Structure formats: structure tokens, C-alpha cells
Structure 1
Amino acid sequence: MAYLHLITGGARSGKSRYAQQLALGWCSNPVYVATARVWDDEFAERVARHQLDRGPEWTVFEEMRLVSQLPIAGQTAVIDCATLWLTNFFSDTNSNVAKSLDLFKQEIDALLNIPGRFIIVTNEIGMGVHAETAIGRAFTDLQGWANQYVASRADAVTLMVSGLPLVVKAPIP
């Protein structure tokens, strides 16, 4: 049976660091699933910084869409992050919110049919300034609906604020 922990928060709130600490507390050789597509040089630098945060004990997979098809059964895996995962679906579907959300939900449902402990990192992008463009607002809506879906399926949800974890949904003992 799958256990799912969602970690959400704003940019630079400590989400990834907390997720990695949590995973290392559960096992000595966790999996890291990177969902990012490297769009430009600045983003490549961000990816490199994240890579430096992890030691040799991590098994790393890079998968932009079909995370549920990775060999992660029985593993503790950090999936970082849902926002970039959604961006890939959004880009592939020509910004179709409904289709992107459906593809994402299918992946979450498939993931929950795999035994293991999964930590999904996501962003609360709707807590800031409203996007200036229609496509930006559409993606913000998509992210919000996707986060709600994952949170509804998660055993635990943690909101990161200024590096501090706040329990939003505690696992049932």
C-alpha cells in the first residue's frame, strides 16, 4: 500500500530540504524523482544547486511525465516537484487545463497503486500576486486544483513557511 506525504509552500520555503530530510529519516537509500525540464541556463543552475544537496545515498531518476512507471515500488521516493510535473503536461497539451489535470490525476492514482512511501513536493503559486497573463492565470488554477487533488489523497500534508514545517494534515495513527 502506498503512503503519500504532500509538502507544499512558497518559493525558497525549504520544501525540498524538508522532503529530503524526511526521506532520509525513513530510509538510508531513498529515491529522488526529478520532474524538471531544463528550460534555460538559469534553470540549469537551479537544478545543479538541488543536485549538490543530495549525497551518494540517493538513487536519482529524471522523469517529466510518467513517474508511476519508474521502478520505485517498495521505495521511499521524493518527487520534486508537482509544479514542474504539471508544467510538462500543460506544455504538451498546448495549455489545456482540463486535459493536463486529467493526465496528472491519472499519474497520482497510478502512483497510489504502487507500494511505497512517496513524498511529493509542490508549490502554492496562488498565494502571491495574480499572474498578468491569461495563460499564467490558467496555470495557477491548474496548480491549485492539482494540489487540492493530491492533498485529498495524501496521508499527510505539510506547509513550509520560512523553513518551518506546519502540519496541515496529520497521518492517522
Structure 2
Amino acid sequence: MIHFITGGQRSGKSEYAEKLALEQSTNPIYLATSRVWDEGHRARIEAHKARRGEQWESIEEEKALSSHNFTGRLVLLDCITLWLTNIFFDNGEQDDKSLNDAKAELDKILSQDCDWIIVSNELGLGGHPGNEVAMRFNDLQGRINQYIAAKADRVSLVISGIPVEIKSPNK
């Protein structure tokens, strides 16, 4: 089962994903992808960690998601946007290489026999990026979100803390 959750920044995506994970598992895995970019970002990461209880098994992995075995587990991957940022900048801002690398890694992890809740930002809902690199990254993010949504069993859009089901096995 793959449940893809997307929405704007600070829309409540992670909180919704965490709630769902705890409803489905007594010991879910929290697969965190963020690098520490600066002290403000470190504070955001620490706030996320503090919100989670001891029932979570936390794994921090910036890029090589498939280096872990998740067989039989429920995994909350948070978040695709930060993971894709790591790939994009490590690839020297090469759009096509970054997209191909991300798709290959996603194919590896999604082939594991486990359940996924995957969180990502819906960047296209915001204002127009102020520079060329940000615009290219927004386009890349949109393409990877579409790739994941096509593979997902469920897709939810979170708006102002309210999840809206976009795709489900029954629709």
C-alpha cells in the first residue's frame, strides 16, 4: 500500500501522515530525509523529532533510501522535497539526471514488501519562483510528485490541516 500525501508548506501534511501511521502500526518507521542546512532548519528538524513519541523507529537517510530493508513494516517517508533537494544539488543541479536518479531509487524502495506513507510538498501552488534554479527545481518536484501519485494506491492533498482524498482504491 502506498499513500501519497502532498500539500503546501505548513499545511499539516506531516501531522496527518504521523496520525495515519500510528493508526496503522504500533511501531512505524519514520524515514527522515532532511539535511541540516542552517540553524533555523535544525530547529524545524528538532521540533519534528520532539513531536514523535517512542513508538517510532527513526531512520535519517539523505539519499540512499533503498540501503535499508523495510520488509513487513509501515514506513512514513518525510519528505520527498527535501530528499529531492539533496539529489538535485549533489548532481550539480542537473534536472534530467536528478529525475532519473530519483525515479530509480523510488522504484527500488517501492518494490519492497512494506506499506508506505510518503509526504511531499506541492510547490506549484505557491508563487512563481524568483530565480531560474528554483523554477527548475519546482518543475522537477512536480514531475516526481506525478510519478509517485501514479504509483500510489491513495493520494491525499492537505489544505489548512484538512486532508482531501484525491485518489483511493475505491475511486
Aligned residue for 2:135? 137
Could you tell me how far 1:70 is from its partner in structure 2?
Answer: 1.1
- What amino acid does structure 1 have at the position aligned with 2:134? G
Q: Could you tell me how far apart the structure 2 residues matched to 1:68 and 1:172 are?
A: 30
Aligned residue for 1:146? 144
- What amino acid does structure 1 have at the position aligned with 2:86? N
SS class of match (1:108): helix
For structure 1, list consecutive stretches of 5 or more residues without a partner in the other structure.
none
Q: 1:20 aligns with which of 18, 21, 35?
A: 18
- What amino acid does structure 1 have at the position aligned with 2:108? A
Equivalent pair of 1:155/1:172 in contact (CA under 8 Å): no
* Alignment length (residue pairs): 171
Could you tell me how far 1:172 is from its partner in structure 2?
Answer: 4.3
- What amino acid does structure 2 have at the position aligned with 1:85? W
The residue correspondences of 1:16-95 to structure 2 (distance < 5 A) are: 16-95=14-93
Q: Deviations over 1:101-141 (max 9, x none)?
A: 11110111111210011111000111111111100000000
Q: CA RMSD in A?
A: 1.0
Could you tell me how far 1:71 is from its partner in structure 2?
Answer: 2.5
Could you tell me how far 1:167 is from its partner in structure 2?
Answer: 0.2
For structure 2, list consecutive stretches of 5 or more residues without a partner in the other structure.
none
TM-score in terms of structure 1 length: 0.96
Q: Deviations over 1:64-119 (max 9, x none)?
A: 11112212111101000000000000011000011111111011111121001111
Q: 2:122 aligns with which of 121, 124, 133?
A: 124
Q: Could you tell me how far apart the structure 1 residues matched to 2:17 and 2:25 are?
A: 12
Q: Could you tell me how far apart the structure 2 residues matched to 1:14 and 1:171 are?
A: 23
Where in structure 1 do 4 or more consecutive aligned residues deviate above 3 Å?
none
- What amino acid does structure 2 have at the position aligned with 1:92? D
Seq. identity, %: 44
Q: Could you tell me how far apart the structure 2 residues matched to 1:66 and 1:120 are?
A: 16
Q: Could you tell me how far apart the structure 1 residues matched to 2:45 and 2:169 are?
A: 31
